[in-house]
Amino acid sequence: MNKFKLAIGLHNHQPVGNFDSVFEEAHNQAYLPFLRVLEKFPRIRLSLHQSGILWNWQEKKHPEYFELVRKLIAAGQIELMTGGFYEPILPSIPDRDKLGQIALLNDYLKAKFGARCAGLWLAERVWEPHLPKILNQTGVEYLPIDDTHFLYAGLELDDLKGVFITEEEGAMVKVLPIQKKLRYLIPFGTVEKVIDELKYRSDKNAGGLAIYADDGEKFGVWPHTNEHCYGDGWLEDFFAALCENSDWLEVCTLGEAAMTEPVGRIYLPTAAYTEMLHWSLPAKAFTGYEEIENLLKETGQLEKYGRYIRGGHWRGFLTKYEEANFMHKRMLLVSNQLNDYMVKNPQDTETIKRAKHYLYAGQCNCPYWHGVFGGLYLPHLRTAIYENLIQAEKLLKSNKAAVILQTEIDYDCDGHPEVIVSTDKFWAAFKPSSGGMLVELDNYECNFNLCDTLRRRQEGYHWKLSQAQLDNGKIDKTASIHDVVLTKEVGLEKLLVDDWYLRRCFIDHFLPPETDIDRFLTGHFGEQGDFVLGAYEYRPDKERGTIILRRKGHLWRSDGVKAVTIEKRFYFAGNSEVISVNYSLTADDEDIYNVRLGIENNFNFQAGHSDDRYPFFGGVKKPNTFLDSLITQKNCGTVIIRDDWRRFSVALSADKKAEIWHVPILTISLSEGGFEKVYQGTSLVHIFDLSLKKGRPFEVTFLLYAGQSANMPNRFLNARAGIIA
């Protein structure tokens, strides 16, 4: 009689842009010790997937890890799996990039280990029904995928006895259902409970198969799991128990499992693991989903009816977070540019190869979404995505003459066109349909998007903040991060804010007299005008590099509604790092007195409380001030934000003095370690108190410098008390 099989798969990954110290910690706390334990148990065989990002890092920093992997492959204990080299969400990238990403990792693993990979790790198990065809083209024969997908298709848990076949246009792949219960038991349940669950499955399906495949970070990186898995010996005890039950249980690789007789054919719906589908929902739906799920748990009906309650899908993050959508659409633009370049310059293989690596790195999935992991909320991960995309684009345009390119295109796919400007120094995107704001400003020289901020918003999990506890070292080591609520500091609930507009550049406020910097910080301030979210008319100018945006709007005042027109003109030069912005405000029908105009600009330099990033006002640095400081500077014309680590500066000068507010953007998000405060950028708001005479425009001109600190023009460096030299 055939033994019951347990097929094990392990997935290790660190995102592009993550800190070297995080890579090092994960390697030492999880990846290496896991294989050291595996080495002690020759009868335990499993499949290993690592993203190309992680392989590259380990090859440079820990070549001995490669020797260990080679040894375990030779001993038959490890089978390697492929995937997208830079761990993209495959349905979110063009098919040509799917093929390229998988081929890149295939080639790498063959070169380094002599491996021919038949199995694929699907990033975040995000499945869409068109995938089988493209996977089949890459030579993929099988992939593990959550039992959730199968339950959504109408199957019962008891139906998941082995391998299934799915296809698209006759192109087939095998899908292996990962058991959610095993994902939660390993390594958080006792070894006895895991064996009992496997025995139960064996009794119901003699000679059958169970699939376990999950993140390797659970074995040492998640809170307290290193002590649990290695200090307390859970992993050794688990492997020992598997060997002790070898009379009825055989441990095998996913590839060996895929060779078993298929159970049948299946067509899986669009899905991911249950938690991901929950996280992708908007805040209100997120909470509603949680309520119904808890109700089913309390009544003991979750297992029976849970499959009929499902969340959203991964693409929902692109609706939930405008910032993720901007990043995604920027990536698609660069992908199209590379494809065009390949068609026109097929002989330039070196540029194409380098540009592909940058583009593919810019497709790394982690900062495009957010759940219990920091993801989108981590500025250094977003910065890395933009850095790679800008590098790719810069390569593709490097041989072109110095020209200004200007176009109108629905860049973010919302039904309204954006205005795109490209020069030798900048790539800029304006959104006329939403406040006429500047939503992206990339500097080619520094490969940096200055406007990469994140607005504060309500998250469905924020209500748990009141229940969160500090990790004092006494937290249950066997609790999953999905079950324990931690916070990294107390009092974070006071910082919860829901911004009602995108935090980008040249946002036009008309503020009531009672609005001060403290009220602005809270996000709960009045708005007399309809310009922040209102649509601006884009007027093409015959002079390339000139963007004219105009809105005839209104102010709601105690003495009635007033008509006001704002026109703002942006001037780009082909090879200059200075952008000129001219504002013109006109009272259309009558004089308007005591107007408080606020022009808001938001920039992000990642570290809010670091000595090497700080503001200057009127050429003077205030003592003990940081980018996360709350500062009011009166009667000032020039503010500079310096980033000495990046050697980059932003300088903003107005030809009329103003009161300048320097306001940090702080979000509260959830990560593996619990709730945390994250700096997302700094708002610089120029406040002008003025009166408007009918038909007589008020004008103010800004000069915006964005580039290397050493290249900043003297007119910014010599500014004192608001006087521009």
Using DSSP, state whether 309 is helix, strand or coil.
coil
Conformation bin of residue 146: beta by default, left when phi > 0, alpha when psi is -120 to 50: beta
What's the CA gap between 290 and 265, in Å, rounded? Answer: 32
List helix spans (H) across 245-378: 254-258, 274-279, 283-298, 302-305, 317-320, 322-344, 349-361
Cis status of the peptide bond prior to 94, with omega within 30 of 0 = no
673, burial (CB in 10 Å: exposed 0-12, middle 13-18, buried 19+) = middle
DSSP 230: I
Instruction: Check if the beta carbon of residue 90 is closer than 8 Å to that of residue 131.
Output: yes
- 3-class secondary-structure state, position 695: coil
**Which residue has 């709730």 as its token pair?**
675
Catalytic residue among 39, 141, 215, 659: 215
Return the bridge partners of 427, or none: 422, 442
Is 588 catalytic? The answer is no
Tokens (6 digits) for 303? 């297992």
Amino acid at 82: T
What is the rounded CA–CA span in Å between residue 663 and residue 36?
A: 49
From the number of C-beta atoms within 10 Å of its C-beta (0-12, 13-18, 19+), residue 261 rates as: exposed
Of 95, 101, 122, nearest in space to 359 by CA: 101
Helix (H) or strand (E) holding 78: strand 78-80
Nearest Cα neighbor of 363 from 404, 329, 403 is: 329
Q: Enter the tokens of residue 136.
A: 């089949």
C-alpha separations of 121 from 46, 321, 351, 367, 369 in Å: 13, 26, 29, 19, 19
Side-chain half-sphere CA neighbours of 418 within 13 A:
20
- Tokens at residue 409, please? 């295109």
Which residues of 572-647 form beta strands (DSSP E)?
Answer: 578-587, 592-603, 613-617, 631-643
Name residue 78's beta-bridge partners.
46
Amino acid at 114: G
**At a CB cut-off of 8 Å and minimum separation 6, what does 60 contact?**
none
User: Based on C-alpha coordinates, what's the Rg of the chain?
Assistant: 28
The span from the first CA to the last CA of the chain, in angstroms, equals 90
58 is written with which tokens? 């380990």
- In angstroms, the Cα distances linking 335 to 178, 267, 411 are 33, 30, 13
Q: Which of 685, 382, 682, 442 is nearest to 579 (CA)?
A: 442
The single residue of 97, 124, 387, 676 carrying the catalytic annotation is: 124
Tokens coding 703: 């000069």
Could you tell me which of 686, 665, 681 has the C-alpha nearest to residue 617? 686
| Strand, coil or helix: 471 | coil
Rounded distance, CA 641 to CA 610, Å? Answer: 12
Beta carbons within 10 angstroms of residue 500's beta carbon: 13
Question: Token digits for 252?
Answer: 């095998």
Give dist(CA 510, CA 594) in Å, integer. 11
The verdict on whether 214 is a catalytic residue reads no
C-alpha–C-alpha distance, residues 180 and 189, integer Å? 13
> Which amino acids are annotated catalytic?
124, 215
